[in-house]
């Protein structure tokens, strides 16, 4: 359509489709081409379409237009989408734009940009519908029509007193179904779950999921309403948190960007950092083995089972760490459950260790004597089965304890990733293995 200059077609695309579809269709075009399409739509619609582009593209689109247009568009955007975008722009550019933005928006922008990036304040919007308690339903409907808030923020209406303290909430559904002459205050639900502006965005997500509400009100330390977080922004938080957790568990520093579009050097840095730390830690396996070099020299067959024994610890540790980390993220395991978790994993580690120990015994007993050299078959089988069982138990306990310890120390429990646990158990597993070996064959 762009090549044919099909004005009617472009106008239809820009105006009639869902904003998400417009962004999807034009995402592959150059910045100049996208603006040729979007210029067929009025400013308010441009402001609706813009947030559906990926964040990097939004920055390029904003930077690719004149300063005047940029300012008007930023004024039109929803407060939360706008704060998101401005947080990614060059701070010098933002500072040069702000004087051009209308007074009310300017204040709002500075306020939202001042919250820590992971707080409720950073993801809330300052656009919402409020009513006093002492008016009737029919008057409430008139006021709502006058406020006519954008988008879905109209469905939860917040009832405030003169000091902006939150008294309760009514839904648009209640107002529509209620008799016109009863008071809003009689209709409202008083037991409203709120979050404070400095609480974490995970807390917002948990509150919304727990109460199945459309929006969570955000209050300041005096209980005054300062914003709301809507369900669609919480969904983004939940997905982003899951991504962070999965990536930490896989020993990558969380990537905010799209995997295929992030810069090579940035991704390299986030991966090489962790891999190098793990590698340096894993060098200790060499030192530990060197310590037992004489034992291996006298019974060479012992060295054949080292990778088997330590990988058992790594696998059982990764499993336990994953289960505990996820249970913590879901709120199923609190700090007070520490001993319960460890008791549970103690029992689990013993039974899992017995299971693997039996398999290990059978395999070692079936080894041809020429491979075992000077070692006695049954001695080796006893060593392997006991070492596997002990290391499996050890890995399970370490894997379940580390996330709990990390949280108590104030770190993200997902740092106790599978590779981290595996490395720790590799080094200590070698020590366990050779100590058991010394009992039987050395």
User: Considering the complex, what minimum distance in angstroms separates the CB of residue 151 from a copy of itself?
Assistant: 8
Strand pairing partners for 131?
A: 159
141's enclosing H/E stretch is helix 137-147
Q: Which CB atom, from 203 or from 247, has the smaller least distance to a copy of itself?
A: 247
Instruction: Compute the C-alpha angle 75/81/82, nearest 5°.
Output: 35
Q: Which CB atom, from 98 or from 255, has the smaller least distance to a copy of itself?
A: 255
The first and second tokens of residue 91, run together, are 């701070």
Q: Which CB atom, from 198 or from 334, has the smaller least distance to a copy of itself?
A: 334
Q: Which residues contact 208 (CB under 8 A, 6 or more apart)?
A: 215, 216, 229, 231, 234
User: Considering the complex, what minimum distance in angstroms separates the CB of residue 304 from a copy of itself?
Assistant: 4
Q: Which CB atom, from 83 or from 323, has the smaller least distance to a copy of itself?
A: 323
Percent helix, strand and coil across the chain, each to the nearest 5: 70, 10, 25
Q: Which CB atom, from 115 or from 361, has the smaller least distance to a copy of itself?
A: 361
Q: Which CB atom, from 100 or from 154, has the smaller least distance to a copy of itself?
A: 154
- Radius of gyration of the chain measured on its C-alpha atoms: 30
At CB < 8 A and 24+ separation, what contacts does 233-240 make? 233/80, 233/123, 233/125, 234/204, 234/205, 234/208, 234/209, 237/123, 237/201, 237/202, 237/204, 237/205, 238/205, 238/209
Q: How many CB atoms lie within 10 A of CB 42?
A: 12
- HSE, side-chain direction, 13 A CA sphere, residue 248: 18
Q: Which CB atom, from 132 or from 168, has the smaller least distance to a copy of itself?
A: 168
- Let me know if 253 is exposed, middle or buried by CB neighbors in 10 A (0-12, 13-18, 19+): middle
Strand pairing partners for 165?
A: 224
Q: Which CB atom, from 279 or from 378, has the smaller least distance to a copy of itself?
A: 279
User: Considering the complex, what minimum distance in angstroms separates the CB of residue 285 from a copy of itself?
Assistant: 4
- HSE, side-chain direction, 13 A CA sphere, residue 126: 20
Q: Which CB atom, from 21 or from 165, has the smaller least distance to a copy of itself?
A: 21
Residue 261 DSSP SS3: coil
Nearest CA to 164 among 108, 227, 111, 231? 227
User: Considering the complex, what minimum distance in angstroms separates the CB of residue 80 from a copy of itself?
Assistant: 12
Q: Which CB atom, from 101 or from 187, has the smaller least distance to a copy of itself?
A: 187
The first and second tokens of residue 280, run together, are 């340096």
Torsion of CA 55, 259, 204, 417, to 10 degrees: -150
User: Considering the complex, what minimum distance in angstroms separates the CB of residue 71 from a copy of itself?
Assistant: 25
d(CA 346, CA 316): 12
User: Considering the complex, what minimum distance in angstroms separates the CB of residue 273 from a copy of itself?
Assistant: 10
User: Considering the complex, what minimum distance in angstroms separates the CB of residue 374 from a copy of itself?
Assistant: 11
User: Considering the complex, what minimum distance in angstroms separates the CB of residue 349 from a copy of itself?
Assistant: 10
User: Considering the complex, what minimum distance in angstroms separates the CB of residue 32 from a copy of itself?
Assistant: 25
Q: Residue 4 carries which DSSP code? A: T
Q: Which CB atom, from 97 or from 175, has the smaller least distance to a copy of itself?
A: 175
What does each C-alpha distance from 132 to 126, 158, 192, 420, 424 come to in angstroms?
A: 18, 8, 16, 55, 60
User: Considering the complex, what minimum distance in angstroms separates the CB of residue 218 from a copy of itself?
Assistant: 18
User: Considering the complex, what minimum distance in angstroms separates the CB of residue 308 from a copy of itself?
Assistant: 5
């Amino acid at each position: 359509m762009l090549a044919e200059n099909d004005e009617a077609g472009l106008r239809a695309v820009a105006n009639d489709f869902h904003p998400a579809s417009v962004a999807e269709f034009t995402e592959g075009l150059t910045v100049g081409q996208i603006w040729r399409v979007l210029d067929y739509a009025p400013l308010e619609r441009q402001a609706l379409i813009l947030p559906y582009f990926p964040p990097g593209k939004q920055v390029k689109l904003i930077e690719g237009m004149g300063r005047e247009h940029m300012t008007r568009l930023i004024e039109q955007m929803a407060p939360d989408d706008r704060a998101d975008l401005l947080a990614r722009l060059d701070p010098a550019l933002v500072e040069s734009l702000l004087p051009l933005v209308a007074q009310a928006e300017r204040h709002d922008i500075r306020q939202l940009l001042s919250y820590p990036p992971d707080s409720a304040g950073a993801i809330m919007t300052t656009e919402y519908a409020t009513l006093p308690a002492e008016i009737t339903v029919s008057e409430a409907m008139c006021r709502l029509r006058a406020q006519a808030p954008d988008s879905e923020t109209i469905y939860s209406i917040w009832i405030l007193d003169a000091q902006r303290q939150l008294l309760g909430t009514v839904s648009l559904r209640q107002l529509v179904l209620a008799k016109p002459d009863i008071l809003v205050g009689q209709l409202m639900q008083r037991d409203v779950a709120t979050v404070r502006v400095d609480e974490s965005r995970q807390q917002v997500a948990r509150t919304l999921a727990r109460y199945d509400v459309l929006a969570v009100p955000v209050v300041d330390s005096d209980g005054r309403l300062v914003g709301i977080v809507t369900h669609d922004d919480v969904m983004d938080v939940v997905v982003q948190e899951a991504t962070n957790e999965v990536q930490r568990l896989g020993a990558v520093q969380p990537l905010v960007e799209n995997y295929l579009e992030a810069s090579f050097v940035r991704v390299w840095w986030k991966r090489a950092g962790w891999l190098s730390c793990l590698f340096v830690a894993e060098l200790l396996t060499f030192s530990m083995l060197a310590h037992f070099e004489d034992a291996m020299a006298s019974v060479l067959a012992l060295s054949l089972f080292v990778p088997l024994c330590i990988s058992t610890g790594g696998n059982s540790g990764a499993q336990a760490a994953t289960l505990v980390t996820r249970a913590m993220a879901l709120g199923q395991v609190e700090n007070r459950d520490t001993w319960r978790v460890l008791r549970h994993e103690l029992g689990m580690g013993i039974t899992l260790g017995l299971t693997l120990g039996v398999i290990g015994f059978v395999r070692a007993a079936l080894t041809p004597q020429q491979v075992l050299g000077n070692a006695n078959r049954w001695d080796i089988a006893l060593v392997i089965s006991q070492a596997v069982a002990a290391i499996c138990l050890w890995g399970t306990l370490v894997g379940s304890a580390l996330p709990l310890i990390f949280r108590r120390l104030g770190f993200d429990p997902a740092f106790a990733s599978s590779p981290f646990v595996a490395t720790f158990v590799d080094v200590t597993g070698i020590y366990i293995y050779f100590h058991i070996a010394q009992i039987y064959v050395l």
